[in-house]
Structure 1
Amino acid sequence: MFNNILLPLDGSEAAEAVIPYAEEMAKRMGSSLVLFHACEASHRQARGMHKLYMDKLAEIITQEINQSGQRTNVLVEQRMGEFTSSLCEYIENNDINLVILVAHGFTSPSAKSVVDDVARLAKCPRCW
């Protein structure tokens, strides 16, 4: 059973492509869904815009799940720092059971970089 599912997002269409899968898994398993975003220092000025994006996305996902008659907690977690290290730190310090992650996005120019690093460094039962 996955109590807490983590969905890292960077604002790219590629990262958002897995939202329906994360939403469905959270709905069917009664899991909480955590939408995660990390801003590097160079993007500090855009942090408010990123927060609005994440909050709106959480609202949309919550509405879609609620329309199905299910109740799922959809949370937003935003951090300052490098994406991969911030993500691994969050996984390690929170009760994350599953990470759903795409290989390409703004923070992942190569298919191996973020996914390989998270799979190698993160301490959770399953990282996909």
Structure 2
Amino acid sequence: MFDNILVPTDGSECAEAAVGYAEDLATRTDASIHVLCVADSRTLENAPQHDLFKKERTEIAERTSTELSESGVSTEQAVRTDIPHRAIREYATEADIDLIVMGTHGRTGVERFLLGSVTEKVVRLSDVPVLTVPAQENGEVTYPYSDILVPTDGSQGAEVVIPSAVEIATTYDARIHALSVVDTMGLGVERSSGEILNALEDSAQSAVDAVEEQATESSVSAVETATDHGTPSRRIRSYIEDHDIDLVVMGTHGRSGIERYLLGSVAEKIVRTSPAPVMTVRQPE
């Protein structure tokens, strides 16, 4: 499953929350956690506090690594000076990272619905899955996972996430929920023929059936499937809240995704607004 998990941290509350999620997963899968702190080279240039800032980053990495080691997790730590999202991706390649776990906001995140720029770029460009963890006001966590949601439209970008979702569900003995939303608003289907709507509904059903089939073959304890109509991001968000979803696993691109550097609008909205952590998986080129 996961052998090497990368946790970029700047010591912020949201980043620290992500450490807990990484620790729980590493404990269950016997994975190693790599703690990475990045000193932003753009802000350090000619800055009088250059040495102090790098020292702070080193202390954060050491403190986090020590806490993880004391809980029995194998850890490695690193401090880099670079543009943060670039340093994270380069480290992931160098260390053969299988999963990146990070908060949706760093120290500069000031609004709940404003995805941190570093996180956004890592999600868009990472070659490995990225688990984004939102800050919880009450400090609650959603692990151990009981209910995992897999939104799907049947595209290759959506289907590539199924093995990851199944593995996590098996690890946590969790239920998988497969949801496909017919985008009646975006496609103007309400004004189209019943034949077109029926075809889209059949496609949605086939998409959730594919998830159910793979999950059942892998002996996932329970699987629920559902189809819905409306704006996909809104219906997915409603499903998360209505069914107390603990984790969302989805592709970064669906049927409308055409470029690597353009995050699918549905995935982007869910990462930004979901009350539960979201694992995004990009389709290999």
Measured against aligned partners, the alpha-carbon deviations of 1:32-72 in whole angstroms (never above 9, x if no partner) come to 001111102316312123212211221111112x3xxxxx3
State the superposition RMSD in angstroms: 1.7
Q: Equivalent residue for 2:185?
A: none
Which structure's relative contact order is higher, taking Cα pairs within 8 Å and 6+ residues apart?
1
TM-score when normalising by structure 2: 0.40
Q: Equivalent residue for 1:35?
A: 35
Quote how far apart the aligned CAs of 1:93 are.
2.5
Unpaired runs of 5+ in structure 1?
67-71
SS of equivalent residue, structure 2 residue 25: helix
Whether the 8 Å contact between 2:5 and 2:26 is mirrored in structure 1 is yes
Distance, in Å, in 1 between the alignment partners of 2:40 and 2:101 is 21
Quote how far apart the aligned CAs of 1:113 are.
2.1
SS of equivalent residue, structure 1 residue 2: coil
Quote how far apart the aligned CAs of 1:76 are.
0.6
Whether the 8 Å contact between 1:83 and 1:107 is mirrored in structure 2 is no
Unpaired runs of 5+ in structure 2?
132-285
TM-score when normalising by structure 1: 0.84
Written as runs of structure 1 = structure 2, the 5 A alignment for 1:16-95 is: 16-41=16-41, 42=44, 44-45=50-51, 46-64=53-71, 66=72, 72-95=73-96
SS of equivalent residue, structure 1 residue 17: helix
Matched, 1:117 2:121: yes
Whether the 8 Å contact between 1:4 and 1:96 is mirrored in structure 2 is yes
Amino acid at match of 2:120: D
Distance, in Å, in 2 between the alignment partners of 1:120 and 1:18 is 18
Query: Which aligned runs of 4 or more in structure 1 are off by greater than 3 angstroms?
Result: 107-110
Quote how far apart the aligned CAs of 1:112 are.
5.1
Whether the 8 Å contact between 2:10 and 2:60 is mirrored in structure 1 is no
Is the radius of gyration larger for structure 1 or structure 2?
A: 2
Amino acid at match of 1:44: H
Q: Equivalent residue for 1:69?
A: none
Whether the 8 Å contact between 2:38 and 2:57 is mirrored in structure 1 is no
Alignment: residue pair count: 121
